[in-house]
Amino acid sequence: MTLHEAMTARMERGEFPGIVTLVARGDDVRADAIGVTSFGGAVPMRRDTIFRIASLTKPVLAAATMALVEDDVIDLEEPVHKLLPELAGQRVLARIDGPLDDTVAPHRPITVEDLLTFRMGHGLITEPTFDPPWPIVEAARDLELVMGPPDPRTPHDPDEWIRRFGTLPLMTQPGEKWQYNTGTLVLGVLLARAAGKPLGDVLRERLFDPLGMRETGFSLPAERARELPASYAGEPGTGELVAATNTGPEVWSSPPRFPSGSAGLVSTVDEFCTFARMLLDGGVHGGTRLLSEQSVELMTTNRLTPEQVVSAGQLLGGSGWGFGVGVSITADDVSAPGRYGWSGGYGTTWFNDPHERLIAIAFTQVSDFLWSGAQKEFSRLAYTAGSGQGS
C-alpha cells in the first residue's frame, strides 16, 4: 500500500477530515493534500494549508538558541538565573508529591542546556498518569501557567509568567530527570531577555527571514487565520472526535500575550520542510550558513543517560533526546539509529533520517493521529513514498 492510499483510507474511515504530507529525498519533493479541513466541510486541504504545529515549535526554538550561542549572546553552561533572576531562589521538592514547603536546596543551578534537554527539574508528570492532583501540579494550575496543553492560553505576559513560575519549587534536582515541556516555556522567556526583543522577532530575524518562512510565526493575518483547519481530539472513554473551541481563528489573528516556545507556532509543510532541510544540510540554507555543523550535531545527538530514557516513559517511548528533538538510539524495521524529529499534539509530525537523506512531514489537526497508529504507518511508508503519491 502506498502512503497516499494508506492516508486516504484512514481519512475515509473518519480518523481525520484531511491531511497534508510531504516527503523529500534530495531535490525530489512529493507533497500530497488529502481530504478537507473539517468534518462535514467543503474546503479542501491544500499544499499551502496553514497548521497549528504545537510542539514542532520546540526544535525551532532550539535552533534559535544555538544561533544565539554561536553569537556569544548566551552560553549553554550559563546559569539561567543570570537572565531570569526570578528563578534564583527556587528550591526543590523533597518529594514530588509532597507539600510545597517541604523542600531541599538544589545541588546546582539550572543551565541553558538543562532547558534544552528538559532536565531543568520541572515538567509534565507522565507516570503513572498525566498531571496527578499533587500540590505542585495544582499550584501551577492555580497560577494559570498552562504547563501542558497550550489551550486555553496563559493570560500572563512573559515577565509575569516567569515571576509566577519562580514562586514554585522545582520537582526534581536539575540534571536528574527528563521532564517534558516546561524547559522550552522558560527558554522562550530567556531568549527574548537575552536578545532584548520579543521572542517572535528573535525567531524571525535568526530563522524565518533567512529561510524564507514568511507565514511561520505566532500569529497570522485575520484572513489567513480563518483558513486554519478545525482541531479535534478524542473524548476520553468514548474516543469520539470533538472539535476544540478554544483555538479558533480569533485566537491566532493577533500576537499572543505569551509567545510559547513550547507550542505556539503555525506553519505549512513546505515552510517547515525548509527548516528541516537546513538541519539535514548541517546548518546551511541556499549556500548560507545559519548554524554551525557542531550546533546541528549537538541538537540532533542524544544527551540523555539510559536511565533517563527509561524514566521518560511513554512520551519518549525508548528514544533519546537532543536539543528540542527526539533522537532514535536503536534500529527499527525501517531505519538505523540517528533519525531525529518530533510531533505536535494537534496532530503534526516530522522526522529527518540523515542516513537516507530523508525528510518526512505530516500535518493534520486531529490529536489522535499521534496515538491511533496513523503516525507510525506514515513514518514507515515515508521510506517507500513515491508511487501513487501526489507531487
Q: In sequence order, what DSSP letters do the residues of 148-209 get, joined into one string?
A: SS--SPP---HHHHHHHHTTSPBSS-TTS----SHHHHHHHHHHHHHHTS-HHHHHIIIIIH
Residue 389, in any domain of the structure: no
- For residues 203 and 187, membership in a common domain is answered with no
* Same domain, yes or no: 47 and 187: no
Q: By C-alpha distance, which of 191, 40, 51, 56 is closest to 115?
A: 191
pLDDT given for residue 239 in this prediction: 86
Instruction: Give me the pLDDT at residue 66, please.
Output: 98
Instruction: Count CB-CB contacts under 10 A for residue 331.
Output: 11
Q: Flag whether 391 is in a domain.
A: no
pLDDT (0 to 100) of residue 386: 53
Structural domain includes residue 175: yes
Report if residue 24 sits inside a domain.
Answer: yes
Same domain, 92 and 240: no
Does position 129 have pLDDT exceeding 90, yes or no? no
The chain-wide mean pLDDT, for the chain, equals 95
- Kindly report the CATH number assigned to the domain that includes residue 118: 1.20.58.710
User: Percent of the chain, pLDDT > 90?
Assistant: 92
Do 117 and 184 fall into the same domain?
yes
Domains identified in the chain, total number: 2
- What pLDDT is attached to residue 389? 41
Domain that holds residue 245: 3-65+198-384
| Per-residue DSSP letter, 43 | P
pLDDT-based confidence at 333, cuts 50/70/90? confident
Instruction: Examine the pLDDT at 351 and tell me if it is beyond 80.
Output: yes
* Cα three-residue angle 265-269-270, rounded to 5 degrees: 110
Same domain, 60 and 205: yes
Lowest mean per-residue pLDDT among 105-119, 158-172, 192-206, 373-387: 373-387
170 assigned to some structural domain: yes
Q: How confident is the model at residue 132 (pLDDT cuts 50, 70, 90)?
A: confident
Closest CA to 76 of 116, 109, 49: 116
Residue 182 grid cell = 516546561
pLDDT digit string, tens, across residues 264-310: 999 999 999 999 999 999 999 999 999 999 999 999 999 999 999 99
* CA 277 – CA 355 distance, rounded (Å): 14
Instruction: Tell me what the mean pLDDT of segment 337-356 comes to.
Output: 97
Q: Report the phi/psi class of residue 22: left, alpha or beta, with left for phi > 0 and alpha for psi in -120 to 50.
A: beta
Whole-number Å distance between alpha carbons of 5 and 375: 14
Same domain, 170 and 204: no
pLDDT of residue 369 exceeding 70: yes
Q: Is the pLDDT of residue 140 over 50?
A: yes
Q: Is residue 129 located within the same domain as residue 206?
A: no
pLDDT reading at 391 higher than 50:
no
Q: Tell me the DSSP string of 86-123.
A: GGTT--EESSTTS-TT-EE--SS--BHHHHHTT-SS--
Last residue of a domain, one of 162, 195, 228: 195
256 and 308 co-located in one domain: yes
| Statement to judge: residues 16 and 119 lie in one domain | no
Q: Specify the 3-state DSSP secondary structure of 29.
A: strand
Do 169 and 205 have their domain in common? no
Per-residue model confidence (pLDDT) at position 42:
96
The cell for 323 is 536539543
Asked if residue 216 belongs to a domain, the reply is yes
Residues 6+ apart with CB under 8 A from 355: 335, 336, 338, 339
What is the CATH number for 263?
Answer: 3.40.710.10
Are 86 and 32 in a shared domain? no
368 pLDDT above the threshold of 50? yes
174 and 269: one domain? no
Question: Would you say residue 390 lies in a domain?
Answer: no
pLDDT number for residue 390: 40
Question: What percentage of the chain carries pLDDT values higher than 70?
Answer: 98
Question: Does any domain span residue 58?
Answer: yes
Last residue of a domain, one of 195, 214, 237: 195
pLDDT at 130 over 80: no
Question: At which of 195, 214, 247 does a domain end?
Answer: 195
